[in-house]
Amino acid sequence: MLRKAVITGATKGIGRAIAESLATEGYDLAVCSRNEADLVAMQIDFAERFGDIKLLTQVVDVSKKEEITKFAQVIDNQWSRVDVLINNAGVFMPGSVHTEGDGLLEMMIETNLYSAYHLTRALLPLMMSQKKGHIFNMCSVASITAYDKGGSYSISKYALLGFSKNLRQELKPYGIKVTSVMPGATWSDSWTGFDAPEERLMQARDVAEVVVSALRMSASAVIEEVVLRPQLGDL
């Protein structure tokens, strides 16, 4: 039976790079995005490049619990197992706590934290019944380092790291690994228009390689936390 992986925010950037890497490794995938056109394009691309794997797609606004719940139900109806869950979807808007717009914190918490919380809780029964699996929470260097204009984004990512740490402790008896991935600046749509040499930021595939490497480890070992930064340092 082919292994099964769920990835949120999988049509672009880090999520897309992880999806491609796991497809190469032979995983069937369930992915979501807010943009239906992006999902259709991904279906076409993956059918051409990875014909042997199955790609399940669904339009989901991960900031809405009801949409996350429906996504989990679709997965539960079609799959009998989930081997890997990658909570990758997130949003970044710069701001300072004392000046950022009202509602920004709520929006970031709903997207960056609650999405991971609700989807994980919905899929855990499948993973716990297997007594194995691996959950990756895409945190950030903003989860461990305060910086100017971090504001609500940093708050949400600190909270995601806390969620990940608690989950790690709770799931030890069930054989489920939990890894917190904390990338620094990585080329994606968020950096469109940023004028810098390509090597100044990391590539999305660099983060994907870390995920694949963690999955290849024996059942007796887990990477609990990993920090990745551009070689020249944070921006």
Query: Would you list the domain boundaries of the chain?
Result: 4-228
Which residues does 132 contact at the CB level (< 8 Å), separation at least 6?
Answer: 83, 175, 176, 219
Nearest to residue 201, comparing CAs of 231, 171, 165, 172?
231
**What is the mean predicted confidence (pLDDT) over 163-173?**
98
Marked catalytic residue, from 117, 153, 158, 174 = 153
In the annotation, is 117 catalytic?
A: no
111 pLDDT tier (thresholds 50, 70, 90): very high
Q: Could you tell me the pTM of the whole model?
A: 0.96
Q: What is the predicted pLDDT for the residue at 179?
A: 98
92 pLDDT tier (thresholds 50, 70, 90): confident
Return the CATH fold of 4-228.
Rossmann fold (3.40.50)
Residue 1 reports pLDDT greater than 70: no
